[in-house]
Amino acid sequence: MTDLNLLDATNDPRRRSWVASANATGCDFPIQNLPYAVFRRRNSNEAFRGGIAIGDQILDLAAVAKSAVFEAGAARALQAAGQASLNALMQLGPDIWRALRDAVFQSLRDGSPLQAALKTCLVPQSEAYYSVPAQIGDFTDFYSSVYHATTVGRMFRPDNPLLPNYKWIPIGYHGRSSSIGVSGQSFSRPHGQRLPPGQSAPIVGPSARVDYELELGIFIGAGNSLGTQIPLSRAESHIFGLCLLNDWSARDLQAWEYQPLGPFLAKNFATTISPWIVSLQALAPFRVPVERPEGEPPPLAYLDSEANRVAGAIDIRLDAWLETAAMRERGDPPQRLSSTSFRHSYWTIAQLVAHHTINGCNLVAGDLFGTGTQSGPTPEEAGSLLELSAGGSKPIKVGDTERRAFLEDGDSVIMRGWCEKPGAARIGLGEVRGHLLPALSPSQTSQTTG
C-alpha cells in the first residue's frame, strides 16, 4: 500500500470554501472532496472539458488553465484536464494529481487571493451536461462481495454456494466498454436466448428478468507495461479514483449462457456510471480494516500485506433506489431498496489491481474495473433484485400498490454513495441514474448505424 491512505491538509474538516454552497450541511462536494468530471453546458456546442465539483458549482479546468494562475505540476495537470476526456490527466500519475488537488484546494479555500480570478471559472451544476469521463479501453467486472456471491450461489447450488476458488482468487470477467454510459443513460430491454422453466429448448425474445447491480467503479490512472506486474504495495498509486457503477443484468439470459465461460450478452447491453470520480485522497479519512469471518484462509502472499489488512477497506455507504413510471406520474419520491457499505467487500481495490496484473496483463489510463455487486451481511443490504426477491420467487413491495421481482419497463434505478463519520467532512460520490425502456421490435433491432 502507498501513502495514499494518509491524511493531509486537504482532508482538514475545519476548512471552508469561498463557494458558499460547499459549506452546506450534507453537501456531497465540500472543499475536502474535489472530484473530477467531464462536462459542457446544456444545450450548447461547447467542447467537453474537465471540471472539479465544489458545492453546487463546477470549476471549469479549461478556463482555469487559460487564466494561468497555477504553476509547475498543477499547470501541467490543468493542460491535461481541460481536454474532452481525463485520460491524459490519469496517465500523469499520483504526484501530478496531488499537485493539482493541492492547488485547487488552496485556491478555493476561504480567504484565497485567487477568489476573484477563479469566480469567473465556475459553472452551475444545474447547467451542466456530462460525458463519460474517460475513453475506456477495457472494462473488467469483479465479484468481490462474498455475501452477494453466497446468496446467488445458494440459489443455484444450495449445498455448495461458493465455488472452491472464491476465497483464494478475485473472480472477474472482461466486459464491454462500448456500452458504458454516464448517469441518465436510457436503454432498451435486451433480447437474447433464455430457457423457460420446464422447457428443453431455448427461445429468443426480450429478457423478462432485467436487474440492477449496486457497484463501485475503479478508474485506472498510470498503467503498467505488458509483461510486468503491479505489486500490492503500489497498486493504489495506479488508481485515479472511484465512481458509482450499475452493471445492468438480464438474469434469464445469464442463467442460460453463463456456463462454461461466464457472463456474455446478459451483461454487455448497458453499464451506467456516475459522472464524478472521487480521489483516494478524498476518501482517506474513511479507511477501515479489512474484515473477514474467523477461519477464512489468508490471502496468498501477492495479495497480502499488513497495510492492506489495517486500512485496505473503505467505508463508502451505498444506496439503491427505485422510481417506477407510476411513481413519476403521481409525483411520488423514489423508494429505497437497499443500503450497504463497501467496507464489507471480501477483496480490496488494491487486491483487484494486483491480481489483474499478476499474469503480466497491461493496464492503461482510463481502464475501468467494477467491484461487482456490493451486498452486506443482512438481507436489507442486498445489492440486486435477484437477492431482494429471492430469485424472483418473493416479489418486494414498492409503494402502496406495486411489486417487483425484476425491473419493469419505465423503471429508473438511482444509486447514491457517500462517506460520513464524526471528525471528518462528508464526502459524496453523487448519484448514478439509469432508465429501462421497452424492448425494441424485431424491425427496430435489425436497423444498423452508418
Give per-residue burial for 47-68: e unless 16+ CB within 10 Å, then b. Answer: ebbbbbbbbbbbbbbbbbbeee
Question: Are 134 and 219 in contact, with CB atoms under 8 Å apart?
Answer: yes
In sequence order, the β-bridge partners of residue 59 are: 52, 122
Report the catalytic residues.
Answer: 148
Residue 341 parent element (H or E): strand 335-341
What is the C-alpha separation between 239 and 230, in angstroms, rounded? 11
In angstroms, how far is CA 378 from the centroid of its own chain?
22
What is the C-alpha separation between 397 and 96, in angstroms, rounded? 49
Q: Amino acid letter at 367?
A: D
Question: Are 55 and 64 in contact, with CB atoms under 8 Å apart?
Answer: no
The gap between the terminal CA atoms of the chain, to the nearest Å, is 47
What is the C-alpha separation between 395 and 328, in angstroms, rounded? 21
Burial class (CB in 10 A: 0-12, 13-18, 19+), 31: buried
Residue 376: CB atoms within 10 Å: 21
Rounded to 5 degrees, φ, ψ at 214 are -85, 105
What is the C-alpha separation between 63 and 116, in angstroms, rounded? 13
Question: Are 53 and 34 in contact, with CB atoms under 8 Å apart?
Answer: yes
Backbone dihedral region of 257: left (phi > 0), alpha (psi from -120 to 50 degrees) or beta?
alpha
